[in-house]
Chains A and B, each alone.
Chain A
Amino acid sequence: MLNQVMFFLFGAMIVIFSLLTVTSRKVLRAAVYLLFVLISTAGLYFALNYNFLAAVQLTVYAGGIVVLIIFSILLTSHVSERAVMAPLKESLLSALATVAGAILTLITILKFVFVPATGVDPHQNITDVGNALVSYNRDGYALPFEVVSVLLLAAMIGAIVVAKKEKISKK
């Protein structure tokens, strides 16, 4: 019962704050709404008993990416500035397209009968995840882990090079 209440609370928060994120005229406020969306998503992961994923969601998304976004908002626009939106006709067409797509997808999802696995104890604690992450045996994920770490390193170096100020003496 309490689980259901929490699930619907988080679901409603996700949908409402997502809508506010994409419609809010104030950019900084939109970023804070995005933060609420990400925190509610972590709540959904907690409801699924995946504590590690919820912790990652909170630290990386809510703690890292949102802070990065808020920093760049403060660097590039004034707090009082109001965001420009698409013209009305374009907005209506986009809304029509997305609502049509959402209805189509929802009908497909709700018509399909998923058969959940029963009688299996998920039994996944952080130790299992950590062991699989660095294991190179079957069912190990050492290769994707290394690939992602190289990708992150390359992205960080690239970001520093791109954002660096050019030397003034160049003129």
Chain B
Amino acid sequence: MIQNIPLSYYLVISTLMFFIGIYGFLTRRNLITMLMSVELILNSVNINFVAFNRYLYPQQLQGHFFMLIVIAVAAAEAAVAIAIIINIYRNFKSIDVENVDEMKY
């Protein structure tokens, strides 16, 4: 127990954040807000990595590096996704998933 805060409190917060992100991903119809929900999900996973590292294996660094790599992948994903979204907007004049269905067959 560190500073009178048990590990499960961190896990509860990250669980809530994760499922809120999933809810956003399921209900949003705008591509950018769906991307924001994905960022929420990735961020909640980061909290888990860091909290486990701090509480269970404080002398190790694995959690640190998993979190750094997740952040780097999230940045790459956001850059590519936004490039695709801007390209879609140029072609369809809209980024709602309901209107972008020409790739569906």
Residues of A within 8 A of B (CB): 3-4, 7, 11, 14-15, 18-19, 21-23, 27, 30-31, 34, 37-38, 41, 44-45, 47-50, 52-53, 56-57, 60-61, 64-65, 68-69, 71-73, 75-77, 83-86, 90-91, 94-95, 97-99, 101-102, 105-106, 109-110, 112, 114-117, 120-124, 128-129, 132-133, 139, 141, 144, 148, 151-152, 154-156, 158-160, 162-163, 165
The A interface, classified by DSSP as helix, strand, loop or mixed, is helix
Complex Cα spacing A61 to B42, Å = 11
Complex Cα spacing A163 to B7, Å = 43
Complex Cα spacing A41 to B18, Å = 13
With contacts A37-B40, A68-B78, A129-B61 taken as known, whether A152 is within 8 angstroms of B83 at the C-beta atoms is no
Closest to B76 in A: A155
Task: Given contacts A7-B5, A163-B87, list 5 more A-B pairs with CB under 8 A.
Answer: A14-B13, A84-B98, A86-B29, A90-B26, A124-B58
When distances are taken between beta carbons in the complex, the residues of chain A under 8 Å from B3 are 3-4, 7, 47
Asked if residues B29 and A83 are in contact (CB atoms below 8 Å), the reply is yes
Give the distance to chain A from B78, nearest Cβ to Cβ, in Å. Answer: 5
Give the distance to chain B from A151, nearest Cβ to Cβ, in Å. Answer: 6
Closest to B52 in A: A114
When distances are taken between beta carbons in the complex, the residues of chain A under 8 Å from B39 are 34, 38, 61, 65, 69
Residues of B within 8 A of A (CB): 1-13, 15-24, 26-30, 32-33, 35-37, 39-40, 43, 46-47, 50-51, 54-59, 61, 64-65, 67-69, 71-80, 82-87, 89-90, 95-96, 98
Asked if residues A133 and B75 are in contact (CB atoms below 8 Å), the reply is no
Complex Cα spacing A115 to B85, Å = 45
Selected contact of B11 from candidates A30, A77, A109, A124, CB within 8 Å: A109
When distances are taken between beta carbons in the complex, the residues of chain B under 8 Å from A65 are 39, 74-75, 78
Asked if residues B28 and A37 are in contact (CB atoms below 8 Å), the reply is no
With contacts A21-B36, A27-B30 taken as known, whether A15 is within 8 angstroms of B82 at the C-beta atoms is no
Complex Cα spacing A99 to B27, Å = 14
When distances are taken between beta carbons in the complex, the residues of chain B under 8 Å from A61 are 39, 43, 71, 74
Closest to B82 in A: A72
Query: Can you identify 6 A-B contacts, CB atoms within 8 angstroms?
Result: A21-B37, A53-B68, A56-B71, A91-B27, A95-B23, A155-B80
